[in-house]
Amino acid sequence: MFGELEALLLHPEVVNRKIVLLSIVGAFRRGKSFFLDYCLRFLYANYASIKNPSNLINADNWIGAAETPLEGFTWRSGTQRDTTGIIFWSDVFLTGDRAILIVDSQGLFDNETSTADNSKIFSLVTLMTSIEILNLQGLIQEDHLQYLQFATEYGKFMTSPGQEHKPFQNFVFLLRDWNNPDEYPFGFDGGQKYLENTLVVKPHHPEELKSVRTYLKSSFEKLSCCLLPYPGKTVARDSNYDGRWASMDEEFLDELKILISSLLKSENLTTKKINGIEVNGKQANEYFQQYITIFQSNSSIQPQSIYETTIDKFLTALVLQCFQIYKNHVNQTVGNINNETEITNVLHSSRNAALSTYDGERKMGNAEHIQKYRNDLDAKMNNDSIEWIAIAMARIAKIREEQRRAAEAAREAERLRLEKENQERLARERAEQAAREQAEREAEAARQAEILRQQQAAIAAEQERQRLAEEQRQREIAEQQRIEAERAAEEARRQQQQHHGRRRKKCSVM
């Protein structure tokens, strides 16, 4: 059963959903599996499931066709047991954040099952389910109530001072073939009145039955009773009857539909709780497997041992939850801190946050239990803190070494940079000096060239002046010569004229 149950509860669609677990117990050959199969019809018509995620909802006609044979858990009319042990239906139904599991159990109170085994099956089913149906024929007998003694004894521990939540959820007495409808009408209303009358504590009751009656209401969140009429001869007697509702008495069919709808409508589903806290598939798997192990390994089961096991599982889960809070806080913070003092402060604040959560959460057990697991949580965090500090110090040392190497590399890089800059500066200075010297040479050459040019220009100017002066002198000489020539000519003319004059004068004398 471990593997099958684990596969259902840890299915990806189930593991994080809140668990609703419907079970039925009671005498063999009294229609338990038959009833569950009609429950399956309702569930498949109203909800999707892990095997049928796209199931077409047909809620208005969930009962199906009148002549359709019944399918699901095996059953048959007769005197031989058909279901052995505890059987989980292989599909899980899904509605919102809830997952619905269906459990059938072997018939009790037969000549093949010991009282101890009857009690173990009854008790295990009670521990695991959130909606438990005790299927009985006729009246509630005193020996039937004896099988609830485990639940009520367990409830004594769970409802001890400081424990405010009832350990179990919904318990339904389902009375078949009810033949007193005039006194107590069919259905839940009549059943509730009958149940209240039955559970009245009377002086003649043995102490254990007084105890059962006293603690029954404090053990279950809801106690109810439903009265069903006789289903009809074909249903009750025909060994070949295949479950089709066409063969049922109409009155029985009407009450059956009301009962199943009342139990399994979404708004009426009861989730499994441990210490008042709804459990999901993962959590339920841990609790259930522990319960099953205990019941399989012990011939005599004591409520106190189950109670202590439940405390252990509950507080262990709470410790893990709080430790995870510590881990999450540390993981989000410590990795970014490189200072030992700050890391110690973060670990301390993370530890305090986890312990505060533990102290503030609803818990099971007495003060000794609670303190023991608180100490376990503290020790677990302390050990983890030591590891964290060691890891952190190693990381800090590594970071510091990396920083030292980086600083050294930076210094070397800076030295090389400065050396390169100095070399570049010297090269620039040399280049600038060479450029300045070149410029000075060029400037000196230009100055000398200018001096030479000026000298040459002066020489040329002097030569030009001398040439012009020479030309002027030559012109003056020429002009003087011309003047002298003109004077000579004029003198010659004058002398000639004088000569001619003397001749004429001479001639005249003559």
CATH number at residue 478: 1.20.58.420
In this structure, are 296 and 349 located in the same domain?
Answer: no
Does the pLDDT of residue 432 top 60, yes or no? yes
- Higher pLDDT: 478 or 348? It is 348
Structure confidence at residue 79 (pLDDT): 39
Domain boundary among 267, 301, 335: 301
Task: For 359-390, write each residue's pLDDT tens digit.
Answer: 888 776 777 888 999 999 999 999 988 888 88
Q: How many domains does the chain have?
A: 2
In this structure, are 101 and 208 located in the same domain?
Answer: yes
Q: How much is the average pLDDT of 156-163? A: 56
In this structure, are 40 and 140 located in the same domain?
Answer: yes
In this structure, are 138 and 277 located in the same domain?
Answer: yes
DSSP annotation string for 111-165: TTS-HHHHHHHHHHHHHH-SEEEEEEESSPPHHHHHTTHHHHHHHHHHTSTT--S
pLDDT class for 81, splitting at 50, 70, 90?
very low
d(CA 222, CA 169): 6
Pick from 184-193, 263-272, 448-457: least confident: 448-457
In this structure, are 345 and 211 located in the same domain?
Answer: no
In this structure, are 353 and 488 located in the same domain?
Answer: yes
DSSP-derived 3-state class of residue 220: strand
Task: For 262-310, write each residue's pLDDT tens digit.
Answer: 999 999 999 999 888 899 999 999 888 888 887 777 655 566 667 777 7
- Higher pLDDT: 245 or 99? It is 99
d(CA 482, CA 475): 10
pLDDT class for 82, splitting at 50, 70, 90?
very low
Backbone angles phi, psi at 314, to 5 degrees: -65, -50
Q: What is the 3-state secondary structure (H, E, C) of 426-456?
A: HHHHHHHHHHHHHHHHHHHHHHHHHHHHHHH
d(CA 437, CA 433): 6
What share of the chain in percent tops pLDDT 70? 86
Residue 193, C-beta contacts closer than 8 angstroms, at least 6 positions apart = 184
In this structure, are 293 and 336 located in the same domain?
Answer: no
Q: How much is the average pLDDT of 311-321? A: 86
| Strand-pair partners of 88 | 103
Structure confidence at residue 83 (pLDDT): 45
Structure confidence at residue 114 (pLDDT): 65
- Domain span including residue 439: 307-510
Does the pLDDT of residue 509 top 60, yes or no? no
In this structure, are 285 and 408 located in the same domain?
Answer: no
Handedness of CA 474, 475, 476, 477 (dihedral sign): positive
Average pLDDT in the chain: 84
Q: Are 316 and 374 in contact (CB under 8 A)?
A: no
Structure confidence at residue 503 (pLDDT): 66
In this structure, are 469 and 413 located in the same domain?
Answer: yes
What share of the chain in percent tops pLDDT 90? 37
In this structure, are 102 and 179 located in the same domain?
Answer: yes
In this structure, are 50 and 139 located in the same domain?
Answer: yes
Does the pLDDT of residue 313 top 70, yes or no? yes
DSSP-derived 3-state class of residue 5: helix
Q: How much is the average pLDDT of 348-357? A: 90
Task: For 195-253, write each residue's pLDDT tens digit.
Answer: 999 998 888 877 777 777 877 888 889 999 999 999 998 888 777 787 788 889 999 99
Structure confidence at residue 412 (pLDDT): 92
Task: For 468-501, write each residue's pLDDT tens digit.
Answer: 888 888 888 888 888 888 888 888 888 887 777 6
pLDDT class for 155, splitting at 50, 70, 90?
low
Does the pLDDT of residue 423 top 50, yes or no? yes
Domain boundary among 265, 280, 301: 301
Burial of 77 (0-12, 13-18, 19+ CB in 10 A): middle
- Higher pLDDT: 38 or 466? It is 38
In this structure, are 294 and 342 located in the same domain?
Answer: no
